[in-house]
Each structure stands twice: as structure tokens, then as C-alpha cells.
Amino acid sequence: MRFFPYDQPYANQREAMDRIHNSLHRGQDVLFEGACGTGKSLSSLVPALEVAREQDKTVVITTNVHQQMRQFVAEARAITREESIRAVVFKGKSSMCHIDVGYEECQVLRDNTRAVVDAERDREQLERRQRELLAESQEGDGSAADARSAVMDELDDIEERLEDLEEQNVCDYYRNNLTQNTDDFFGWLFEDVRTPDDIYEYAEQQQFCGYELLKEGIEGVDLVVCNYHHLLDSTIREQFFRWLGRDPDDVIAVFDEAHNVEDAAREHATRTCSERTFDSALDELAETDDPRSEDAANVLSAFHRALVETYEDAFGFGDREGIGDNWSDVPIANEDRKDDLTLEFLQRYSGRGIDDDLEAAMKLGQELDEQYEEAYREGETATRTECQTLQAAGFVSAWMTESSAEGLYPVVSVTRDAGTDEVYGRAELYSCLPRQVTGQLFEEVHATVLMSATIHPFEVTENVLGLEDAVTMAYGLEFPEENRRTYAVETPPLFSSDRDDPAVQETVAETIHDAVRMTPGNTLAFFPNYGEASRYADRLASRSDRTLYLDEPGQSVEELRQQFVADDGAVLCTSLWGTLAEGVSFDGDDAHTVLVVGVPYPHLDDRAEAVQDAYDVAFDGTDTGWRYAVEIPTVRKTRQALGRVIRSPEEVGVRALLDRRYSRQAKPDLGRYSVNGTFPHEEREELIDIAPDKLKFAMLNFYGGHDEYDGEPPTP
């Protein structure tokens, strides 16, 4: 409890901390589900810090939700008021760079700057030495004069070297790191838990590179808060642990919102290469007089032509005109033979051999990349050029060796350049099995805690992420049951084929209107997509006098949230796939009722089918793919949205699911389309089936019974 910063834990929070402590002490992985608002973060963080203190480990807590990162900072600050810990918050270089350069450029600038500083220090030492020898020679020491002559020769060499170095590109911020006293920075850094924004601003005032100082300062800290990619990207993870001064077995990893790890790991394992990269690579090779450029261009141009031909052949009448500025997939996979792109490439290629040409392209690309780095280092170019030949050749090599591997799905996608109106494509090796990324990570680190309000079913999470013998624990919403109601409202199922039916829309819109009228305060309404949110926002606006907020793509979500919670009696319509559906709290009077309208199935395209097929094969079951890849993630999305309200024991609220597929009594009629059985047992038991026209009376009785109405209750 020394790391617990508040007076008393919630119900079951102490038990959870004890169980997690014992598991981490034994080096076991933990799957921990806790309802929203029940203190999962501290339940995981407190025992992790205790075990880290006992066994000399470092705790790394990672999230992909900005709101949660702010929450961890707040909790870490609260802990430091009770027990001394050294904690840092780490973000990627791009968000902390003062001169806005890429990773490769930054590396060259650091090397150049260090070389200049080292040379200046050598010069200073030699100048000091020559002055000492001059004084000794003037006192009659003949050997000192000879020694001084040698030192002067070295000084001349250093001066020439410095003249050359001063023409190179350097970073003044990093130079200050190397030449000025940084003790005050590190003293300030560990006085409290500093955010990356705090560090950026403080370092800017002092003209330091805060990112590099942070890398220097994190060795041996107790706690690091970071993004998913610091652990899921194997290259970044290796560097990150080196900066920590820790071996993987010295790290306890805590994953927040762990239901998102599956998609994040899949994204980190996926490789892409666009047509533009091949164009640039061929231009690069055309300007190179190296004899290997012909072989390299031969293989890369064949793949480039095959890529273009593959998506052009896939276009039907009017398809090209319909391409927008988002990437659209062109299916190329075949069950009984190689994918269409590979077949087209093999047909178009003519040369001494694909492997030989790719080897020539890779070696030439590596040499060109070294030349670009040297040119930037020497100040001959203002930016560090990336070798496109190396990138393109590396991708084609991976495509030819890995496209048939287990869990990898070959895809071609197309998009339209908004500036030139040009349509172009890319090839992609889409990774279907996230355990190929996460399995290795979980084996390397000492132990992990994966926590979420929606990580059930545990066996599915274990299988998908490659966990073995994890300790599992689940705690439902422990707040008083009499303070909440959860309804499964039997409005018509919003199947995609029925969404445009006027009768269906009228029933759903009227039910939403009833729920809003009966809510004594703000209402959150989640829909399967932004289009449906907009549709019902329009219908609600025509029949309600409540203030209506509509979340739309590209809008500032935090600004919208602040406007909404400052209101009273407002409605916020948004997508279940938007950022407001998870990781964002609506506490107290921020919102009283949450509506989930429809079942938020993902877009069932060829990628989704590929993931289902991969899961069917990997987990040996014909229906496993649908359950693992579609049904369970869909219900998790719904459960996340329901958890946006009722965040403390004192709060009173209604949670309503508007779609027959959620109800218990509709299961026999809907068969596999019913999702009621996918909810955990405890949550399923709380669902009350209700007819649409009865919802307003149920809500009136519930809120009225809790004296939530200010004045006269609304008329049903």
C-alpha cells in the first residue's frame, strides 16, 4: 500500500492488487478485466511498482489512448507524493524535435555535432598543453621545446579537421547538451512527473535537445509511461530497453486498453511499399552509373509494371473515377495459386534471375544509402536523402519470400492524389496473426499485465496474442446496482440491408427521442458509423429542443467533448469507431444516459475475411475466425461505449442497447446474428429486454425513483 496514493481502495481493488502482486512476483503474465471506473490502472501499477522495487525491475506502462496517458501521469504524480519514485513519460522523437528532422537526419546531426565538440575539446587540451610547454621551454628546458613543436603539429591537424567539420550539418540544441551543464535539467526532470510537452518547453527555454536528454536520463528509472510502438516494434523496443539500461527480463510491462493490442500488433507487423517509391527508385537508378543499376532496375521495373497492371486490370467500368483519397483495396489473393501481383510480376520479369537482381539492388542500395549519409554529414546536402532503391528492393525481396507465409495476406491498394488527381497504388503484406509480434515480446520480458474493461473472453485473448498459462481475473461493476439500469431495447435490427427502411428509421429515431426526453441531463448516443450518427442527428433535431452535438471526422474531439459536458440536457451523436467510445470519461453530471444504436460490426472486406481464415487455420475451427475476428471485437466495442458513464459509486445512469440482436428473447429467432451470448455472464444478467415503446416509462420510473429530475418530471 506504500505506492497507493489515496486513502482507501475501491471494493475488490485491494484483492486485485494482491493477486497481481503475487503473479508478477512469480514472473507470470496477467489478464485483468475491470469495469470502467473501478480503478484498474492503480490496481496494476501499484503492485507492479512494489515487485519492481523488490526485484530491481523497471515498470513500463504503455497505452495507445492520449486520455489514458494523461491519467497515468496524474496517478504517477499522486504516487510520488507518497513514495519517492523516478518516473518519466516518453513519446516518439517526432513529437519532441525542436528542428523537425527525421530519424536518419537526426542520427547524422548527432554524429557530426559530437565530432565537432570532441575536436574542439581536443584543441582546447592541446592549446593548454602547448602553453605549459612554452613556459617550461622559456625556463630553459630544451626537451619542452621539442615536445611543444609536436603539439603544435597536432594543433594544426586539429584546426584543419575543425575547418572541415564546421562545414558539416550540426544541431545547435544537441551541441548545448554536450557543452553546457545539464544538472539543473535533470534536477527539474525528477522533481515531478514531467510530460513530453513539459520537457519540450523547458528544453526550448534552455536551448537543449530535450529528447536526447530524456534518453540519457531514463536509465534506471522506476516507471516509464510510453506508447504501444515502444514495445510492439521490435527494433524500437531493443533501443528503448538499451536506453533504460535494462535487459528484457528486467522489465514489467503493463498494457492499458489491452483489447487494442491485437490491432496494434497487426499494424506493426504489416509492410507496405507504394508505386511512388518504385518511381523514385527507378529515377535514382537512372542517375547512377554503377553497372549493377541495370540489373536492379530490371527487377524493380518489372514489379512496378506488374503492380500498375494488377490494379488497372481490376478496375471495372467507372471504378477508376470512384477512387477517393483514402486507400481502397484491390483483392489479389487466390486460393489455388499465387496472388495476381506475383503472377503478373513473374510473367513480366526477364533477366538472369530474380534473386540475383534483387541481391544486386540491395547491395547497390546499401552503398547509395551510405553515400547519402556521408553527403549530409559533410554538409553537401541540406537534408538526409533516403535511398528508395534500398526500400523498394527490400520490400520485393520480402514479398517473394513471405507472401505465402502463415498469416500474411497479400494486398494491392489504390488512392487518388488530391493535388494531381493521379491514381496510384501500393503493395502490402498484411499481417493477420498478431501473436507473431506479441508472442516474442511476452517471452522476453519478466512479466506483463494486460488490463482492459473488455478483455473477455480470456482464452481468446491468450490464443490471439500468444500468451501461455496467464493468470486471469475479472471484476465487474462493483458500484450499487440500484443506481443503474441496462436495457436491451427491441428496436428492429439495423442490418445494413434495413438501415434505409423508413419504418425502421422512424422506430429507432422515436426510441432515441424518448430516451433523450427522459434523461435528466446529457445523453451520449453511439452509432455503427459516422453516417448513421449524422442520419439520426438530423432526425432528432427535427423533433427535439435539446442542444445537439455531432461528432464528425476531422473535428477536434476534445473541444467537442468540453462543449458537450459544459451543457445540460444536450445530446452528443458519434461513431462507435471514433475516439469518444473508449478511453474518455464522462464523470458525474457529464452524461447520465448512454445509448448504443445498432451493432458495430467492422467493415467485412477481404482483409477481414483473411483474418478469419487465418484464425480458422491457426486455432483449428470453422467458426473460430468469425468469433475471434468479428463477433468478439464487435461486442468489446459496444461494451467500451457502455462504460463511458457511471464512473463512481455515487453516479446514477441508464445504459441502453437499441437493437433486437442484444436481447435475450430474440436469440432463437436471430441465430448467429444474435450477440447477446457474447457478453460476459454477469453483464448479460443485467440486460433487461424491453419493447421500444416501454423504454420511456422505464426510464421515467428509474430516474424519478432517484429524484434525478429537477422539478416536474417529463411527460411520457
Query: Could you report the per-residue pLDDT of 418-476, keeping only the tens digit for each?
Result: 778 899 999 999 999 999 889 999 999 999 999 999 999 999 999 999 998 899 999 88
Task: Select from 484, 497, 457, 525 the least CA-distant residue to 681.
Answer: 457
* CA geometry: angle 341, 346, 352, nearest 5 deg: 145
CA distance 34 to 20: 13
For 301-331, write each residue's pLDDT tens digit. Answer: 999 999 999 999 998 888 888 898 889 999 8
Q: Is residue 164 over pLDDT 80? A: no
Q: Is residue 67 over pLDDT 80? A: no
> Which of 48-52, 407-411, 601-605 is predicted with the least confidence, judged by mean pLDDT?
601-605
DSSP string, 167-191: TS---HHHHHHHHS--HHHHHHHTT
Q: Which CATH architecture group holds 11-98+189-269+440-465?
A: 3-Layer(aba) Sandwich (3.40)
The share of the chain scoring above pLDDT 70, in percent, equals 99
> Which residue matches cell numbers 421515467?
700
Containing 526, the helix (H) or strand (E) segment is strand 523-527
Task: Select from 107, 296, 336, 77 the least CA-distant residue to 190.
Answer: 77
Task: Select from 306, 277, 282 the least CA-distant residue to 293.
Answer: 282
Confidence category of residue 12, pLDDT binned at 50, 70, 90:
confident
Q: Is residue 224 over pLDDT 70? A: yes
The predicted structure's pLDDT at residue 24: 96
Tell me the domain boundaries of the chain. Answer: 11-98+189-269+440-465, 103-170, 271-433, 480-706
Say which residue, 128 or 378, is predicted with more confidence: 128
For residues 640 and 630, the answer to whether their CB atoms sit within 8 Å is no
pLDDT average, residue stretch 191-197: 89
pLDDT average, residue stretch 630-649: 90
Strands (E), 220-261: 223-227, 251-255
The predicted structure's pLDDT at residue 702: 95
For residues 393 and 362, the answer to whether their CB atoms sit within 8 Å is yes
Other Cβ atoms less than 10 A from the Cβ of 119: the count is: 17
Confidence category of residue 247, pLDDT binned at 50, 70, 90:
very high
The predicted structure's pLDDT at residue 633: 93
Q: Is residue 137 over pLDDT 90? A: no
Cross-strand bridge partners of residue 548: 571
Cross-strand bridge partners of residue 423: 416
Peptide bond into 692 cis (omega under 30): no
Q: Is residue 162 over pLDDT 90? A: no
For 323-339, write each residue's pLDDT tens digit. Answer: 988 899 998 988 888 99
For residues 532 and 508, the answer to whether their CB atoms sit within 8 Å is no
Say which residue, 2 or 66, is predicted with more confidence: 2
Q: Is residue 554 over pLDDT 70? A: yes
pLDDT average, residue stretch 271-289: 93
The predicted structure's pLDDT at residue 382: 65
Confidence category of residue 124, pLDDT binned at 50, 70, 90:
confident
CA distance 627 to 244: 39
Confidence category of residue 364, pLDDT binned at 50, 70, 90:
very high
CA distance 365 to 326: 30
Could you tell me how far CA 676 lies from the centroid of its own chain?
A: 30
| Residue 467: φ, ψ to 5° | -90, 145
The predicted structure's pLDDT at residue 9: 83
Q: Which CATH architecture group holds 480-706?
A: 3-Layer(aba) Sandwich (3.40)
Say which residue, 149 or 501, is predicted with more confidence: 501
Q: Using CA atoms of 564, 568, 570, 575 in order, give the dihedral in degrees to the nearest 10.
A: 40
Say which residue, 715 or 184, is predicted with more confidence: 184
Q: How many CA atoms lie within 13 A of 694 on its CB side?
A: 8
CA distance 443 to 99: 38
The predicted structure's pLDDT at residue 622: 66
Confidence category of residue 711, pLDDT binned at 50, 70, 90:
confident
Q: Is residue 107 over pLDDT 70? A: yes
pLDDT average, residue stretch 651-675: 92
The predicted structure's pLDDT at residue 241: 92
CA distance 570 to 547: 5
Angle, helices 388-402 vs 275-286, to 10°: value is 130
> Which of 216-225, 354-363, 486-495, 699-708 is predicted with the least confidence, judged by mean pLDDT?
216-225
Tell me, what DSSP letter sits at residue 631? I
**Cell of residue 426, nine digits:** 501500393
Task: Select from 582, 518, 583, 586 the least CA-distant residue to 549.
Answer: 586
For residues 206 and 183, the answer to whether their CB atoms sit within 8 Å is no
Task: Select from 27, 35, 28 the least CA-distant residue to 13.
Answer: 35
Q: Is residue 38 over pLDDT 80? A: no
The predicted structure's pLDDT at residue 249: 95
Task: Select from 359, 383, 363, 361 the least CA-distant residue to 373.
Answer: 383
Confidence category of residue 541, pLDDT binned at 50, 70, 90:
very high
CATH topology agreement for domains 271-433 and 480-706: no
The predicted structure's pLDDT at residue 290: 93
The predicted structure's pLDDT at residue 91: 83
Q: Is residue 97 over pLDDT 70? A: yes
CA distance 620 to 631: 17
CA distance 487 to 512: 13
Q: Is residue 126 over pLDDT 70? A: yes
Q: Please state whether the predicted TM-score (pTM) of the whole model is above 0.75.
A: yes
Task: Select from 626, 542, 533 the least CA-distant residue to 577.
Answer: 533
Q: What is the mean pLDDT of the chain?
A: 90
Say which residue, 701 or 101, is predicted with more confidence: 701
CATH for the 271-433 domain, from 1.10.275.40, 3.40.50.720, 3.40.190.10, 1.10.3720.10: 1.10.275.40
Confidence category of residue 258, pLDDT binned at 50, 70, 90:
very high
Residue type at position 436: Q
